[in-house]
Amino acid sequence: MIFQRTLKNTIRCTGIGLHSGKKVYLSLRPAPANTGIVFHRTDMKGALVPATVQTVVDTRLCSSIANREGVRVSTVEHLLAAFAGLGVNNAYVDLDGPEIPIMDGSAAPFVFLIQCAGVVQQKSYKRWLRIKKPISVTQGNKKASFEPCDRFRVSFLIDFDHPLLSEQGEEMDITETTFIKDISRARTFGFLKEVEQLRSNGLARGGSLDNAIVMGDFRILNEGGLRYEKEFVRHKMIDAIGDLYLLGHPIIGHFKGVRSGHALNNMLLRKLMAHANAWEFVEGERVAQFLQPDAERQPVERPTPMEALTPAMGLSA
Ligand SMILES: [Zn+2]
């Protein structure tokens, strides 16, 4: 647990970009210790784009990163969340287009790919980023913050002025188990009106009921309904976990998001980086002082096993 991890084998898949609607070939490959997650644009002379706080260039609809030459990779957050959730520190991600495929709109297909590839331990120590002091950013009624904690915990609250989705909140310790079972399958969501607007602006061309929950005025348009009762807020947790992984290190601390999104999440990370006294790196045997030993093995409180096994459930809440 205290050593870095990478993939055991290379694994490939194809999918479509949410905004471009174009087919993308994606490979996840093992990488040496201390590489981090590095994207590799095979269609752009092999340009490398490392996933870091500083390489984030656009956060309007998804998190996009770019290298110094301006080569971009968009919609990185669900894949990064899967790497974070499964404790993969180092990997190369080859893709032949500007956008990570949307798959089913959740992190589950990436979890499946990583599990198929296998995960191996490396020889270097993993470095955790431990939050030492509370730090926060606000923008209007949105807020994102970190607080010290002896584990990695995520709280999130969303509210929308919509009959199907008013207020929804969730708080959870993020371990490999909780991430896979309770978080990873939550899909991205949108309102039909917004989808139509995005389409008329040439965006969301690849968007469909196969890769997003779409809400009409009074009902969810997806035939199978929801995968989790709190699928909406849990998807926002995936986004946050993916965005936070741009730090390049697992976190020991409590992230709280209130109506936060990619832009505010990134503002929080930049503020954190600028306040060197608010955090520290912890590695090796020292980790035991700060990280709850049970955090990795804590029993899952919810949802019930039935819910995790049932592919879809109606909106009853
Ligand atoms: Zn998302």
Tens digit of each residue's pLDDT (9 = 90 or more) over 109-167? 999 999 999 999 999 999 999 999 999 999 999 999 999 999 999 999 999 888 888 89
Tens digit of each residue's pLDDT (9 = 90 or more) over 249-294? 999 999 999 999 999 999 999 999 999 999 999 999 999 999 987 6
Cα 212 to middle of ligand 1, angstroms = 9
103 conformational bin, left if phi > 0, alpha if psi -120 to 50, beta if neither: left
Cα 289 to middle of ligand 1, angstroms = 33
Q: Which residue has the higher pLDDT, 295 or 76?
A: 76
Cα 90 to middle of ligand 1, angstroms = 22
Alpha carbon distance 143, 234 (integer Å): 17
Residues 108 and 132 in one domain: no
Residue 104 is part of which domain span? 3-127
Alpha carbon distance 296, 173 (integer Å): 9
Q: Which of 78, 94, 127 is where one domain is finished?
A: 127
pTM of the entire structure? 0.91
User: How many residues does this entry show for the chain?
Assistant: 317
- Tell whether 232 is covered by a domain: yes
Q: Give the residue numbers marked as catalytic.
A: 262
Cα 210 to middle of ligand 1, angstroms = 14
pLDDT of residue 297 exceeding 70, the answer is no
Q: What percent of the chain has pLDDT over 70?
A: 92
pLDDT of residue 69 exceeding 70, the answer is yes
Residues 90 and 37 in one domain: yes
Q: Which of 90, 106, 127 is where one domain is finished?
A: 127
Instruction: Kindly state the average pLDDT of the residues 56-83.
Output: 91
Confidence of residue 295 (pLDDT cuts 50, 70, 90): low
Specify the pLDDT at position 160. 87
Specify the pLDDT at position 294. 63
Question: If you search the block for the tokens 């490979």, which residue do you land on?
Answer: 27
Alpha carbon distance 269, 131 (integer Å): 11
CB atoms within 10 A of CB 253: 26
Instruction: Kindly state the average pLDDT of the residues 45-52.
Output: 94
Tens digit of each residue's pLDDT (9 = 90 or more) over 210-249? 999 999 988 999 999 999 999 999 999 999 999 999 999 9
Instruction: Kindly state the average pLDDT of the residues 39-66.
Output: 90
Query: 300: closest CA among 309, 291, 287?
Result: 309
Cα 17 to middle of ligand 1, angstroms = 13
Specify the pLDDT at position 302. 42
pLDDT of residue 60 exceeding 60, the answer is yes
pLDDT of residue 90 exceeding 70, the answer is yes
Q: What is the mean pLDDT of the chain?
A: 90
What is the CATH number for 19?
Answer: 3.30.230.20
Q: Which residue has the higher pLDDT, 316 or 285?
A: 285
- Tell whether 317 is covered by a domain: no
Residues 29 and 164 in one domain: no
Residues 109 and 158 in one domain: no
Q: Which of 83, 98, 127 is where one domain is finished?
A: 127
CB atoms within 10 A of CB 30: 20
pLDDT of residue 2 exceeding 90, the answer is yes
Confidence of residue 200 (pLDDT cuts 50, 70, 90): confident
- Tell whether 315 is covered by a domain: no
Confidence of residue 4 (pLDDT cuts 50, 70, 90): very high
Residues 111 and 192 in one domain: no
- Tell whether 316 is covered by a domain: no
Alpha carbon distance 98, 78 (integer Å): 15
Confidence of residue 5 (pLDDT cuts 50, 70, 90): very high
pLDDT of residue 298 exceeding 90, the answer is no
- Tell whether 65 is covered by a domain: yes
Residues 176 and 68 in one domain: no
Domain count for the chain: 2
Cα 239 to middle of ligand 1, angstroms = 5
Specify the pLDDT at position 312. 35
Residues 208 and 165 in one domain: yes
Residues 254 and 158 in one domain: yes
